[in-house]
Amino acid sequence: MLRWILIFLVIALVAAVLGFGGIAAGAAGIAKIIFYIFLVLLVISVIARLARGR
């Protein structure tokens, strides 16, 4: 999932440098959404691991 975040981040940066504002904003938005999903899944995984360890 982190790979997808980095891919969309690179797309957003390249599009921003080339002046494609709409594409850059869209790619950055997708990267943000995937990043937040990743964070939620990471927190759930850590909590499940701690609960299983006890």
Instruction: Give the per-residue pLDDT at 50.
Output: 92
SS3 category, 20: coil
Answer for the pair 11, 47: CB distance below 8 angstroms, yes or no.
no
pTM: 0.67
Task: Write out pLDDT tens, residues 21-47.
Answer: 788 888 888 888 888 998 898 899 899
Instruction: Give the per-residue pLDDT at 1.
Output: 67
**Residue 48 pLDDT exceeds 70:** yes
Task: Write out pLDDT tens, residues 5-26.
Answer: 788 888 888 888 888 878 888 8
